[in-house]
Every structure is written in C-alpha cells, then in structure tokens.
Homo-oligomer: A and B are copies of this chain.
Amino acid sequence: MKIRIYYEDTDIGGIVYHSKYINFCERARSELFFEKGLSPIFEDYHFVVKKLEADFIESAGLGEIIEIKTKVIEKKRASLLLEQNIYREKDEKLIFSMKVLLVCMKKDKIAKIPDYFLEVLK
C-alpha cells in the first residue's frame, strides 16, 4: 500500500510527525479488508492494538510517497502479531519498522478470531 505525505502529516520540524507512521500502518491493515470489499468490523468483532514496538529509522517529507508492507509474524487464537515496515519510495530505504500485537474483541470482550478475519489475512 502506497501513501503520499501531505501537509497535515508534517509538523514544524518539516517532516512527518512521529505518530503518523503508526496511523499509516493502521491504514495499511484496514486496507487489507477494504481492497477485498470487506470491513475490519464484522458482527461486533474487531481488532484493538494491545502493544507496539516502533523504530523510527529515517523520515519522509512533504510530497514523498511511502510504501507499507505488512506480514503476520504469529497467529494465536485471539491475537495476531504483525510486522509492518515502511519504505520511502524514492530510494527504497526502510524508514520505519513496527511490531504490533492486535487482540480480537467481540464488543468489549476478547474473542477467538473469526474465520472471516482469517480469510483476509491469508
């Protein structure tokens, strides 16, 4: 998934505001559903972020294009561990890397990941 950096993503430092990379990773996770015509919210099931570890390696600037790559590291009954890497398109450099633990919820309770979600992640 490719994303362009706009004004709203930058701050006074002239580059992307740090937490925005985490938003971009969330967009990439949601896009896995949207691009198949599906939704990340399914019969009261959805994922929440439980933990994340992020490395800010380099930065992206206004107008640049970044690419987010997502892979499943570990799949458990009610959780998923993903690795998401962001590359700057112009030089193909890795600029951000994150491990994120997602927990599946049904309304307010932890729940087994439904097959609907597992299909998307194949």
Q: How many copies does the complex hold?
A: 4
Q: How large is the interface on A (under 10, 10 to 19, 20 to 34, 35 or more residues)?
A: 35 or more
Q: Count chain B CB atoms within 10 A of each CB in A17, A20, A27, A34 and give the residue with the most.
A: A17
Query: Which B residue sits closest to A34, measured CB to CB?
Result: B63
Q: How far, in angstroms, from A1 to B2 measured CA to CA in the complex?
A: 15
A54 touches B55 (CB 8 A): no
Q: Which of B12, B23, B53, B62 contacts A19 (CB 8 A)?
A: B23
A33: chain B residues within 8 A (beta carbon): 63
Q: Does A39 contact B (CB under 8 A)?
A: yes
Mind listing 7 A-B residue pairs with CB under 8 Å? A10-B11, A11-B11, A11-B12, A18-B22, A33-B63, A51-B53, A52-B53
